Amino acid sequence: MSGIAGIINFDDSPIDINELNILKKNLNYRAQDGFQEYVENDIAFIYAKLCVTEQCSKDFQPLVDEVKNILIVSNSRLDNRNELIKALNLPESKTDCEVLLAGYKKWGEKVVDYLIGPFSFVVFDKINKYVFAAVDHFAQKPLYFSMSDNQFIFSSDPKAISCLDLKTYKINQDKVLDYLIFQGCVNNDSFYKKILKINKGQC
């Protein structure tokens, strides 16, 4: 399964390359077909690529829309891509991430109402410094994040985030208890403190 990750510094401070490399190192098991990345001073998006479909082999992301100044990275398989391509008047050669970007530009956050299939993606509006992230209704493509006033970090794997600061991201004992009693569905906590999971069907 492919994976995604990224860092956004809202205070315009430059990306720490060491942090970026830690994320990549801990997503390496997903990147059987290599990494693709976008880095721009205070933004870094990563796509850990594992090709399992013909469409995936043509997938080059993260994607940037230079007109809207929107950045997107996704780990998705759109089962209704043909319907979406028709609705968006796109060439059949478009990848799932390109379809997602076109859908977001047309429908905004309501794009999730049109998607069928497993997906997780993150969109960043560079002008308004606005982040939108979403996960499918079964959370087949998991997405985790950590957020402070100055920084937003996300990843398909919470361990990748936890390795950025082992003192901050300690094991969350409350989540362990939650999992043992309720199978872990009570809240958005992960097994690491200060790392949250976007649950099924959430944005």
Note the helical H segments in 58-198.
81-88, 96-107, 158-162, 173-182
pLDDT of 152 above 70: yes
Question: pTM (2 decimals)?
Answer: 0.92
pLDDT of 162 above 80: yes
Give the percent of the chain with pLDDT over 90: 78
pLDDT of residue 119: 96
Listed residue (164, 138, 163) closest to 151, CA to CA: 164
pLDDT of residue 85: 97
Class of residue 181 by CB neighbours under 10 A (exposed 0-12, middle 13-18, buried 19+): exposed
CB 120 within 8 A of CB 156: yes
